[in-house]
Amino acid sequence: MTKKYAVGIDVGGTTAKFGIVDHNGKILEQDRVPSNEHEIVEDFIDDLYAKLYPMIQKVGGIANCVGIGMGAPNGNFYSGTIEYAPNLKWKGIIPIADLMEKKFGMVTKLTNDANAAAVGEMMYGCTKNIKDFITITLGTGVGSGIVIDGKIVLGHDGFAGELGHTIIRPNGRLHKATGMRGSLESYASATGVRETAIEMLTAHPEEESLLRNYSINELTSESVYDCAMKGDTIANSIFDFTGQILGESLANFIMFSSPEAIVLFGGLTKAGNLLLNPTRKRMEANLLPIFQNKVKLLFSELKEADAAILGASALVWKMKS
């Protein structure tokens, strides 16, 4: 019998989502367990097992599944360990792939969530026929997965692809979590858009803006989007600036690996052309002629709600150990 299904598990800071996925990206079963309530990882795995194992039985048991794919912060493909993940309760180096294999009796492939998103895009999304691309996740932070010649770039230690932390404005905005200044993430994330809004409103106190109807606490990338769509000048400038920073960064990435496509994913992409147009413009303007008008700038084709499980499940099919 050909094994038809893969298990996908996405471990986030508060919740782990998991599901059973077929080769076409259809999620047959899914559920979730908390990931911030277990002091030791074994207890988390026990809870996961209690919900997940019956699902696996339902689709024909282990004999019908190729394995488990897992996306987790600081997940290392080579070692199968989660290493010093700041947002998880389990500290130090957690050999989660080994623990999963013992508990479930199935091969388990681990990587970080951003790499899993890229592999999911390659298996089920808009890069099925593309062998060189970069996925940029624009959410609370900025994640990235780099694919070269059909393979995710892991680097010598498994930690490659931290493009959100590359510096695009030396001595620029402080990124509080890392203490670094001027990283892509400090501008081109939902958090960054909010900060840009506060900066621009403060810098131009004389300029009217719909954004002034929001309290500082209410200001989010969504409120900036709403105001921009109503024609608000400052709100539009905020997306222009965000696209400028993102476009300049993408140009640098293109001159590194010359991808056929860059896939944007995550909450900030809801801004659509408000973000895409300035991004593309500044990307092209910062490329050598030999790279211009070649790179497809795409939005992900995966539904955000499903993407994490899909990406994790795709690891099983796409990642060779």
Q: Does 174 bind its own copies (CB under 8 A)?
A: no
Stretch binding its own copies (CB under 8 A), from 90-98, 129-137, 222-230, 302-310: 129-137
Q: Does 304 bind its own copies (CB under 8 A)?
A: no
Token pair listed for 15: 């919740």
Q: Which is nearer to its own copies, 62 or 180 (CB)?
A: 180
* Cβ neighbours of residue 152 closer than 8 Å, sequence gap 6 or more: 77, 111, 115, 118, 119, 145, 146, 161, 318, 319
Q: Does 158 bind its own copies (CB under 8 A)?
A: yes
Q: Does 138 bind its own copies (CB under 8 A)?
A: no
Q: How far is the CB of 2 from its own copies (least distance, A)?
A: 29
Q: Which of residues 179-208 bind its own copies (CB under 8 A)?
A: 180
Q: Does 169 bind its own copies (CB under 8 A)?
A: yes
Q: Look at the block and give the residue holding tokens 């131009």.
A: 204
Q: How far is the CB of 182 from its own copies (least distance, A)?
A: 9
Q: In sequence order, what E strands does 47-192 have?
A: 65-71, 75-76, 81-83, 93-94, 108-111, 133-138, 142-148, 151-152
Alpha-carbon 150 to chain mean position? 18
Q: Which is nearer to its own copies, 112 or 237 (CB)?
A: 112
Q: How far is the CB of 149 from its own copies (least distance, A)?
A: 7
Which amino acid belongs to residue 112?
Answer: N
Q: Does 46 bind its own copies (CB under 8 A)?
A: no
Tell me the per-residue interface mask from 282 to 301 with its own copies, x by CB under 8 A, - otherwise. ----x-x-xx--x-------
Stretch binding its own copies (CB under 8 A), from 53-61, 226-234, 235-243, 255-263: 255-263
Picking from 211, 109, 213, the residue whose alpha carbon sits closest to that of residue 154 is 109
Helix (H) or strand (E) run with residue 256 in it:
helix 233-257
Read off φ and ψ for residue 268, nearest 5 degrees: -65, -20
Q: Which of 37, 50, 58, 84 binds its own copies (CB under 8 A)?
A: 84
Q: Which of 24, 39, 92, 156 binds its own copies (CB under 8 A)?
A: 156
Stretch binding its own copies (CB under 8 A), from 39-47, 51-59, 116-124, 145-153: 145-153
Q: How far is the CB of 209 from its own copies (least distance, A)?
A: 26
Q: Which is nearer to its own copies, 128 or 131 (CB)?
A: 131
* Cβ neighbours of residue 226 closer than 8 Å, sequence gap 6 or more: none
Read off φ and ψ for residue 295, nearest 5 degrees: -90, 125
Q: How many CA atoms lie within 13 A of 71 on its CB side?
A: 27
The answer to whether the CB of 151 falls within 8 A of the CB of 133 is no
User: Which residues of the chain form contacts with its own copies (CB under 8 A)?
Assistant: 74, 83-84, 130-132, 146, 148-149, 151, 153-163, 165-170, 178, 180, 248, 251-253, 255-260, 286, 288, 290-291, 294
